[in-house]
Amino acid sequence: MISSVLENIQGIEIYYIIGLLLFVVFFVVILIRTLRMPSKEAEHIKNSILNDNEIMTPSNK
């Protein structure tokens, strides 16, 4: 029922396109940021998941 209502609205397909573009851009940004992350920072993040007592601050990154 809801999909038939949405299909009858003119210009609704632009929202599908905008949503898909936002998802792709967000995914690419996260992918690039992850790939460019220094290995030392990745190791710190990996180890901090196992060590709950450590509080992550800018000084101990």
DSSP 20-54: HHHHHHHHHHHHHHHHHS-HHHHHHHHHHHH-TT-
pLDDT of residue 27: 98
pLDDT digits (tens, 9 = 90+) for 30-47: 999 999 999 999 888 888
Residue 52 pLDDT level (bands cut at 50, 70, 90)? low
Asked if residue 54 has pLDDT above 90, the reply is no
pLDDT of residue 12: 82
Give the Cβ contact number of residue 48 at 10 Å. 15
What is the three-class DSSP state of 11? coil
The rounded distance, in Å, linking the Cα atoms of 50 and 61 is 15
Q: Is the pTM of this model over 0.75?
A: no
